[in-house]
Structures are given as structure tokens and as C-alpha cells.
């Protein structure tokens, strides 16, 4: 079955700098890659997603890139702000169950 | 309702007891997922429903765990003979169909004492 690896587990960046979180997946048939943000005590919420027929997608300060050959995908957050502090999860799916990575705790330092 | 609703929000039960956790998905969503999340971990896949049928139950840890979705809407996760290791937040999510934008419920925090 699908296995999603995510790193780093913890990431600290200065406010205004960029943050990058990387994931790999094992099932080459996976075709949908969402990213979720979870604040303390709250439910995960989708922030951006990408399908395998697209290499990159951008939404304001957030972008996701996908390398199907290497089975890698990454989340890029630019101009980080205090409200970006949270746990971020990547996930992969092939039109069925959605498998999540273990998460990255992002700290934005003042 | 407008979102995915889970009840109860919190459940404390004694070791060995039986519990049921309910998920009410977004209307019209055919796909429904159950996950278990322990502190500091990612959502761990338990089971995925497409309509009324369990399309993939490979994540259920053992035969004490069972889930149903008899009418293709509300789902119930059932745990028999609860153990302290079952303590976690149980999350439900739904999407229009499998492998699409999934919305999560607020979760049920289960504590087994």
C-alpha cells in the first residue's frame, strides 16, 4: 500500500523567510496530493492540493511542486507570518483512500 | 449540515467497554474516511467507504474495530473491549468521491481509563 514520508518533523524559520516541507510517496499510481494545516486543538484543513497532471500550483504565498518521476512533492511558503505556525501534513491518494505523512511542526520566529 | 459533524466530542470509557463514534458527512459526499490521530502524529488511516461499502479497511488495527455506513451517509465506528492504547482523537472526513478534497470533522477524543 501507499506510504508517505515527510520531513523535516520540525522546522523553525524567521518571520519573512521561506519554509519548505518535502514529502515522498511509494505508490506510482497515486494522482492526488493535498496539503493540510492543523492548528493546536483544531481539525486539519486543506490549504492547497495538486494532481499528477500538473507540475506546480501556486496560491498567493503557498506553492506546491510535484516530481512524478522521483515521487517527490514539496510545499513552499514564502514571506512567512506568525499565523503560519502550525503542523502541516502532506498526503497522497489514487482516487481512493488518502494516506497522510507524519507532519511537520512549523515555528515562525519573531 | 454545512460541515462534517462528529459526536460525541469527547468520550471517556473504562477499559473493556464498548464504544460507538458517529460521523455525519457533508450531504452528497459519497466517500467517507476514518482516521486515528495520536498526539504529535499524523492522521493514521483506518477505513474508507465509497457509498455504503467499505472499499478499504486495511487500516483497522484488529478485529475489535469495525465500522458501518448502512445508508451511504452517516457512519459509525465501533470499538469492542476497549484498551488504554485505543485512546486518541478519531477523525472522520468526507469528499465528493474518493481521492478528492476531503473535509474533516472536529474529531472525537476517546480516553480509555
B10 vs A contacts (CB less than 8 Å): none
- How confident is residue B2, by pLDDT bands cut at 50, 70 and 90? confident
Q: Is the pLDDT of residue B17 over 80?
A: yes
B43 vs A contacts (CB less than 8 Å): 44, 89, 100
> How far, in Å, CA of B74 to CA of B24, rounded?
5
Q: Determine the distance in angstroms separating the CA of A69 from the nearest CA of chain B, rounded to an integer.
A: 20
Closest chain B residue to A86, measured at CA: B40
pLDDT tens sequence across B19-59? 999 999 999 999 999 999 999 899 999 999 999 999 999 99
> How far, in Å, CA of A23 to CA of B82, rounded?
34
The answer to whether residue A29 neighbours chain B at the CB level (below 8 Å) is no
> How far, in Å, CA of A8 to CA of A61, rounded?
20
pLDDT tens sequence across A7-27? 999 999 999 999 999 999 999
pLDDT tens sequence across A18-62? 999 999 999 999 999 999 999 999 999 999 999 988 899 999 999
Tell me whether residues B91 and A46 touch, CB distance under 8 A: no
A95 vs B contacts (CB less than 8 Å): 97-99
A6 vs B contacts (CB less than 8 Å): 42
pLDDT tens sequence across B83-113? 999 999 999 999 999 989 999 999 999 999 9
Tell me whether residues B98 and A97 touch, CB distance under 8 A: yes
Cis link prior to A41 (omega < 30° from 0)? no
> How far, in Å, CA of B65 to CA of A3, rounded?
22
Neighbours of A24 (CB within 10 A): 18
User: Per the structure block, which three cell numbers stand in for A33?
Assistant: 496530493
Residue-level pLDDT at A81: 98
Neighbours of A54 (CB within 10 A): 11
User: Per the structure block, which three cell numbers stand in for A85?
Assistant: 505556525
The answer to whether residue B62 neighbours chain A at the CB level (below 8 Å) is no
Closest chain A residue to B5, measured at CA: A43
Residue-level pLDDT at A54: 85
Residue-level pLDDT at B112: 98
Q: Region A74-84: what's the mean pLDDT? A: 98
The answer to whether residue B9 neighbours chain A at the CB level (below 8 Å) is no
Cβ neighbours for B26, distance < 8 A, ≥ 6 positions apart: B1, B2, B3, B4, B94, B103
Longest dimension (CA), chain B: 37
Tell me whether residues B45 and A45 touch, CB distance under 8 A: no
Residue-level pLDDT at B1: 54
User: In this structure, what is the dihedral angle of CA atoms B83, B61, B92, A71, given to the nearest 10 degrees?
Assistant: 140
Question: Which residues are B111's β-sheet partners?
Answer: B12
Amino acid at each position: 500500500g501507499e506510504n508517505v514520508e515527510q520531513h523535516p518533523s520540525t522546522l523553525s524559520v524567521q518571520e519573512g523567510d521561506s519554509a519548505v516541507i518535502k514529502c515522498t510517496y511509494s505508490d506510482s499510481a497515486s494522482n492526488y496530493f493535498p496539503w493540510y494545516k492543523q492548528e493546536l486543538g483544531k481539525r486539519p484543513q486543506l490549504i492547497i492540493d495538486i494532481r499528477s497532471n500538473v507540475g506546480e500550483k501556486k496560491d498567493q504565498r503557498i506553492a506546491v511542486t510535484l516530481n512524478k518521476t522521483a515521487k517527490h512533492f514539496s510545499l513552499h511558503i514564502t514571506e512567512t507570518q506568525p499565523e503560519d505556525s502550525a503542523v502541516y501534513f502532506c498526503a497522497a491518494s489514487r482516487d481512493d483512500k488518502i494516506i497522510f505523512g507524519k507532519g511537520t511542526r512549523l515555528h515562525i520566529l519573531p | 449540515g454545512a460541515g462534517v459533524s462528529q459526536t460525541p466530542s469527547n468520550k471517556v470509557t473504562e477499559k473493556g467497554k464498548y464504544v460507538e463514534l458517529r460521523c455525519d458527512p457533508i450531504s452528497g459526499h459519497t466517500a467517507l474516511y476514518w482516521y486515528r490521530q495520536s498526539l504529535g502524529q499524523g492522521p493514521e488511516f483506518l477505513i474508507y467507504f465509497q457509498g455504503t461499502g467499505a472499499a478499504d479497511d486495511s487500516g483497522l488495527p484488529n478485529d475489535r474495530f469495525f465500522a458501518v455506513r448502512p445508508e451511504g451517509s452517516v457512519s459509525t465506528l465501533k470499538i469492542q473491549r476497549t484498551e488504554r492504547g485505543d485512546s486518541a482523537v478519531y477523525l472522520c472526513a468526507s469528499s465528493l468521491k474518493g481521492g478528492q478534497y476531503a473535509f474533516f470533522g472536529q474529531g472525537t477524543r476517546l480516553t480509555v481509563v
